[in-house]
Amino acid sequence: MNLAMVAGEASGDMLGFLLLKAMQKRWPHVEAAGIGGPQLTSAGFQAWWLSDRLAVRGYVEVLRHYRGISRIREALVERLLAQPPRAFIGIDAPDFNLGLEERLKQRGIPSIQFVCPSIWAWRGGRVKRIARSVDHVLCLFPFEPELLQAHGVSATYVGHPLADVIPLAPDRLAARRALGLPAEATVVALLPGSRRSEIQYIASALLRAACLLQRSVPGVRFVLPVAPGLDSVLRPLVSAHGPQDLQLLSGQSHEALAACDLTLIASGTATLEAALFKRPMVIAYRMHPLSWQLMKRMAYQPWVGLPNILCRDFVVPELIQEDCTPERLAQEALRWLDQAGRRDQVQERFLQMHHQLRCDTATRATDAIAQVIKA
């Protein structure tokens, strides 16, 4: 069984890895190729292009890379039409994948979208394009299938694969031992994102906030997981703005989240990971001002971070655009550290969320894929 897959960034690469491992367990001879990153390739995926070529967020940022991304998509379409796969699976990255899926579907290649585009958050008009483009959507969140089915889109709730992988009660002490961190220290994880544009706009604010925290919290330690390929981008910022006792990690974001007491974190999939690790957080996000003006006009709800969206409440603070300053970040972090009862409450909310999202994604997803491809 040969499949084509496209994972558009680090979070998609991780989801693709988990899905591919599940498919390999069900279909031992499955082969997959397309666009992916280091996690997918570690599972035997053949990456024709690396996923970081697509890891761009924001209208202005996309425009700068539009020609290169378009050339990749055209070359990929040509290759897939010349040698059709059994099915195509697009993993998140809807702006890239939906157009690709529509063209493949028109030529009789079954197309499956893993991760529903967030039509419930913004750009709801995309649901019509989803209906034209895909045969089936694998949904991470329980409210999505009903919304899609109302528009004639076949969909299955599969839960979130990370909810199956991340333990319900993470072992903080074991993670600290693995990272060489003191058992009793206050540890703060800094997660500025996995895209260069995120690092450009967010990292310095997080690093300066850490410096402010260092003045207020005796013995505080910091860990910063560095996504693949971003070491050369982050190190100059760390040298210019970072605090003492900052430990750079090679990846290891799950170890950092398991070990920390609190995280300052860029909005995105990582915030859901932090919630599954039951960690209080301050969500930070900044982008090009023009991109932000365009995006906020299309928003349907007041929340940006996934934990808040799923809880339908501001359970963790969000500091977006002009509010994303070192001073505000440090202030909100200190509030978490000073309020044990508030930390306990949010950890209980996150445990409830974890149970809801943990539903054997591997089996549900492969069952749905088998129905589409008649395997």
Q: Where exactly are the structural domains of the chain?
A: 2-159+359-373, 172-357
Which residues pair with residue 285 across a beta bridge? 320
Q: In the chain, what percentage of residues exceed pLDDT 90?
A: 76
Phi/psi for 109 (5° steps) reads -90, 115
pLDDT of residue 233: 87
Q: For 307, what's the count of Cα atoms within 13 Å in the CB-facing half-sphere?
A: 30
Higher pLDDT, 173 or 230: 173
**Mean pLDDT score of the chain, rounded to an integer?**
91
pLDDT, tens digit (0-9, with 9 covering 90-100), for 30-67:
999 999 999 999 999 999 999 877 765 554 445 565 67
Mean pLDDT, range 250-257, rounded to an integer: 94
Report the alpha-carbon distance of residue 331 to residue 264 in Å, rounded. 11
- Sole residue written with tokens 């990971």: 273
- The CATH code for residues 172-357 is 3.40.50.2000
Report the alpha-carbon distance of residue 159 to residue 142 in Å, rounded. 7
pLDDT of residue 205: 96
pTM of the model: 0.84
Q: How confident is the model at residue 106 (pLDDT cuts 50, 70, 90)?
A: very high
User: Which run of H or of E encompasses 272?
Assistant: helix 269-276
Report the alpha-carbon distance of residue 150 to residue 172 in Å, rounded. 43
Q: How confident is the model at residue 8 (pLDDT cuts 50, 70, 90)?
A: confident
- Residue 213: name the closest of 237, 182, 190, 236 by CA: 190
- Sole residue written with tokens 């045969």: 135
Which residues pair with residue 283 across a beta bridge? 265, 318
Mean pLDDT, range 15-21, rounded to an integer: 95
CATH topology classification for 2-159+359-373:
Rossmann fold (3.40.50)
